[in-house]
Amino acid sequence: MNATAFNLSSKTAVITGGASGIGLAIAKRFAEHGAAVEILDVQQDMLDSVVNELRSAGHVAHGETCDVSDPVSVDAAFARIVTRQKRIHILVNNAGIAHVGNALSTSPEEFARIQRVNVNGVAHCTQAALREMTKMGGGVILNLSSTVAQFGFADRFAYSASKGAVLSMTYSVAKDFLAQGVRCNSLLPGRIHTPFVDNFIAKNYADREAEMFEKLSKAQPIGRMGTPDEVAVAALFLCSDEASFITGTAYPVDGGTLTLR
């Protein structure tokens, strides 16, 4: 790789849900490419551990305990980041929660909980970032949607609704803030091997874990699950200056799920 490619030096990147899984991989990848990373998460212990790890490796990193579903919490966290960094160049809306259930098995309370985090959380953080980006000459917003925003997937009623909303918000922001120099794109990951997958298998298939892992892996046309770092590499590209001609895009990282299944 060209040593100057995907250089995020002198840029501040805010990553929500950055203390674990895909968000953690993105935070590490961005830090390795020179960004000052600001990680928002509700998991204080994990947040502290990640920040300490990044600092020990010589990177610039800070953490903010933040509930993205609460606009007061979001605005306070972003205010502290702006005070510290003076500007926000990149926002990665990664924080989200999953849910398994169809339209009849999903309770109103469960449906609302998913939307509060996955939809409202993206909206709150996007609004907070845009208030700064539009004053400072632009920026990049990257939303973590999902392949389920574009095809029917069994037992993901609330989750699919939330990720469809995230994709629609991506198009809206990309259109509305072109003139202010803001690019907005979405990543559409397929099944990525994260702790959520392991916990889901252990909870629902305790006596068939290896079998189910193999089955879920082969559900992707490419024959395996993706890794968080493979998503992080795509995020790095879309948030870098090398992607300056890309906005309003739904970018799959899915092992061929959307087109080859």
Q: Could you tell me which of 195, 193, 213, 208 has the C-alpha nearest to residue 255?
A: 193
Return d(Cα 7, Cα 33) in angstroms, integer.
Answer: 5
CA distances from 95 to 29, 125, 137 (A): 17, 10, 26
Residues 6+ apart with CB under 8 A from 70: 124
Number of neighbouring beta carbons within 10 Å of residue 224: 14
Return d(Cα 53, Cα 60) in angstroms, integer.
Answer: 11
Return d(Cα 161, Cα 145) in angstroms, integer.
Answer: 11
Return d(Cα 14, Cα 92) in angstroms, integer.
Answer: 6
Alpha-carbon dihedral 118, 78, 49, 52, rounded to 10 degrees: 150
Rg (the chain; Cα; Å): 18
Is 251 among the catalytic positions?
no
Helix axes 121-133, 157-176, angle to 10 degrees: 10
From the candidates 159, 171, 205, 251, give the one annotated as an active-site residue. 159
Return d(Cα 241, Cα 236) in angstroms, integer.
Answer: 10
Q: Exposed/middle/buried for 210, CB within 10 Å: 0-12, 13-18, 19+?
A: exposed
Active site residues: 159
